[in-house]
């Protein structure tokens, strides 16, 4: 029997090494044999999927991904709303470390030509001190770039279809192509790709924009969170939400079908994730589990760890470093995001940290730490209500109705709890027994050790990142853009010697793009990383950009 067990263990170990070698071999082989990576991102959605045990919904395509891949149950965004969350994803940094934690800095949903950028000086938004907050771009430290540039440096063709929303205009050096019609099919032949497909149908706004679309779920069997009262408006809007998720699942099926028909399914690692938690009240913009917990599935083409459930804590800002790691590219050590798979797999996180600050016209400051079971929230402005006024989300009928009921004191129980007029300084929830986070046990002596542990963890984290939430937003803007004047990236210096062109920019941290001949005048820029061959009859233009700065003027070779 012992011999049999030893032999079986050896076979398993050899199989594991074979799978690992298979993945690594793609990353060091020729470009034509490198693995591709596809990110399918959706909007405003917690783990409301069949694969995560929600039986009232049918999501066969995503469920199949989960059966063929790894399902993560403790994945979290850094902020419960899109722009700060997406900042953390593209940079691999905590928004509160850099000063990108407020929602949002400007209209940067998609890439804009840098020469067409305009900024509103007054948009009806004030900071905590009551000062006007104009549109601006977050300026990152010189070493912080869009992680896609590391992929482009390794000859990956990077495509975004088409959402950015990074708290700054996407640098023209971040993507080979970013547009609504962009596809992996656009890449040069035999070039490996990193392709992001953003699906909008589950976004908060689609609850009112798709209100006339057919309801595809049985609204009578839907499980309603206890923090909502049983009223028709609630059941109807949740039915729309679930129907939108089913439509999103159909779209996922189309993407995978297209990949398969292009003979690329067996050459592509697929990530599926949402940019933050749910899209309804006490979900979107919340700093607890309901606002931060997201679905995350990773599928490998060779069946690696297929069907496994992974309970390790993952942050969405780990996605970029993990993609680099899987492709054999070492992520920069200074990143807050850490690889959870691949060659440079890091030690699992002990906690996930979250932040909530200004959301559009409303301001608050909350911080949270989650260990997978317990949620600790620190309220730095406890005098404010938990559910604040927000014109955008009040376009959802149920939200408007609930606010009216709260104002008329018609709510009771858990629904009255989330409409608390003021907040406790500390909140602690046990998700095992309280999945809806409505029973604050911060003052329960039985949980005192956990309270002290998480309180300390949060304090240590805030000190480590030098949490910018304590700084008025207008003062942050002045740090980014002194006297509200946007810094300008210095022009590129061109040196051509022996038919080799080398490019240089004196702005620390700037990235350089260049175009040759027929490319000139297009939106597609090559990313400069080393001298390149340029013949005497070729035309060259260059331009530099630092995140948050105005792009340099265009330099032409003469």
Catalytic residues: 82
Total Cβ atoms within 10 A of residue 231: 15
The per-residue DSSP string of 360-376 comes to: TTB---EEEEE-SSEEE
- Cα distances (angstroms) measured from residue 456 to each of 79, 373, 428, 452: 20, 17, 13, 6
Task: Let me know if 485 is exposed, middle or buried by CB neighbors in 10 A (0-12, 13-18, 19+).
Answer: exposed
Task: Let me know if 416 is exposed, middle or buried by CB neighbors in 10 A (0-12, 13-18, 19+).
Answer: middle
Rounded-to-integer distance, Cα 215 and Cα 240, Å: 6
The per-residue DSSP string of 449-501 comes to: HHHHHHHHHHHHHHHHHT-GGGS-HHHHHHHHSGGG---BPPPPEEEEETTEE
C-alpha torsion angle, residues 249, 254, 255, 256 (rounded to 10): 90
Is residue 71 within 8 Å of 309, Cβ to Cβ?
Answer: yes
3-class DSSP assignment, residue 301: coil
3-class DSSP assignment, residue 21: helix
The per-residue DSSP string of 59-81 comes to: -HHHHHHHHHSEEEEEEE-SBSS
Rounded-to-integer distance, Cα 191 and Cα 34, Å: 8
Rg (CA), the chain: 24
Rounded-to-integer distance, Cα 368 and Cα 427, Å: 9
- Is cis: bond before 287, omega within 30 of 0? no
Is residue 399 within 8 Å of 281, Cβ to Cβ?
Answer: yes
Rounded-to-integer distance, Cα 149 and Cα 529, Å: 10
- Is cis: bond before 217, omega within 30 of 0? no
Rounded-to-integer distance, Cα 106 and Cα 109, Å: 9
Query: Is residue 7 within a helix (H) or strand (E), and if so which, with residue range?
Result: helix 2-28
**b/e map 31-61, b = 16+ CB within 10 Å:** eeebbbbbbbbbbbbbbbbbbbebebbbbeb
């Amino acid at each position: 029997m012992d011999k049999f067990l030893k032999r079986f263990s050896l076979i398993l170990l050899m199989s594991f090494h074979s799978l690992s070698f298979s993945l690594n071999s793609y990353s060091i082989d020729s470009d034509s044999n490198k693995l591709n990576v596809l990110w399918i991102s959706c909007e405003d959605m917690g783990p409301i999927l069949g694969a995560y045990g929600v039986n009232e919904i049918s999501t066969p395509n995503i469920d199949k991904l989960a059966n063929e891949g790894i399902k993560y149950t403790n994945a979290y965004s850094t902020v419960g709303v899109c722009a700060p969350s997406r900042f953390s994803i593209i940079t691999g940094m905590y928004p509160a470390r850099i000063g990108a934690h407020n929602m949002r800095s400007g209209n940067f949903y998609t890439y804009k030509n840098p020469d067409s950028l305009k900024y509103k000086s007054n948009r009806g938004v004030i900071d905590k001190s009551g000062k006007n907050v104009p549109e601006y771009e977050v300026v990152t430290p010189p070493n912080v770039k869009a992680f896609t540039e590391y992929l482009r440096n390794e000859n990956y063709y990077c495509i975004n279809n088409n959402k950015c929303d990074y708290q700054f205009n996407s640098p023209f050096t971040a993507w080979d192509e970013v547009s609504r019609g962009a596809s992996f099919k656009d890449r040069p032949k035999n070039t490996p790709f990193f392709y992001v497909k953003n699906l909008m149908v589950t976004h908060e706004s689609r609850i009112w924009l798709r209100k006339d679309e057919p309801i595809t779920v049985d609204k009578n069997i839907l499980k309603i969170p206890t923090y909502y009262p049983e009223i028709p408006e609630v059941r109807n809007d949740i039915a729309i939400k679930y129907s939108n998720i089913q439509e999103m699942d159909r779209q996922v099926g189309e993407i995978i079908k297209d990949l398969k028909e292009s003979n690329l399914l067996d050459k592509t690692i697929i990530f599926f994730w949402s940019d933050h938690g749910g899209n309804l009240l006490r979900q979107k913009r919340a700093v607890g589990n309901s606002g931060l917990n997201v679905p995350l599935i990773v599928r490998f083409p060779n069946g690696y760890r297929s069907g496994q459930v992974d309970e390790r804590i993952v942050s969405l800002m780990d996605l970029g470093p993990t993609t680099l790691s899987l492709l054999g590219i070492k992520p920069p050590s200074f990143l807050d995001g850490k690889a959870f798979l691949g060659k440079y797999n890091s030690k699992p996180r002990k906690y996930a940290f979250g932040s909530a600050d200004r959301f559009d016209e409303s301001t608050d400051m909350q911080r949270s730490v989650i260990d997978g079971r317990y949620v600790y929230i620190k309220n730095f402005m406890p005098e404010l209500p938990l559910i604040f006024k927000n014109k955008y989300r009040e376009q959802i009928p149920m939200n408007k109705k609930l606010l009216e009921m709260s104002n008329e004191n018609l709510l009771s129980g858990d629904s009255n709890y989330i409409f608390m007029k003021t907040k406790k300084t500390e909140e602690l929830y046990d998700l095992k027994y309280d999945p809806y986070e409505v029973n604050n046990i911060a003052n329960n002596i039985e949980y005192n050790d956990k309270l002290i542990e998480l309180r300390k963890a949060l304090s240590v984290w805030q000190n480590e990142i030098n949490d910018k939430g304590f700084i008025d937003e207008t003062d942050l803007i002045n740090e980014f853009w002194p006297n509200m004047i946007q810094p300008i990236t210095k022009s590129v210096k061109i040196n051509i010697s022996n038919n080799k062109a080398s490019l240089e920019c004196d702005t620390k941290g700037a990235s350089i793009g260049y175009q040759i001949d027929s490319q000139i005048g297009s939106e597609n820029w090559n990313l400069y990383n080393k001298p390149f061959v340029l013949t005497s009859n070729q035309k060259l233009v260059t331009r530099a950009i630092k995140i948050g700065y105005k792009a340099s003027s265009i330099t032409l070779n003469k």
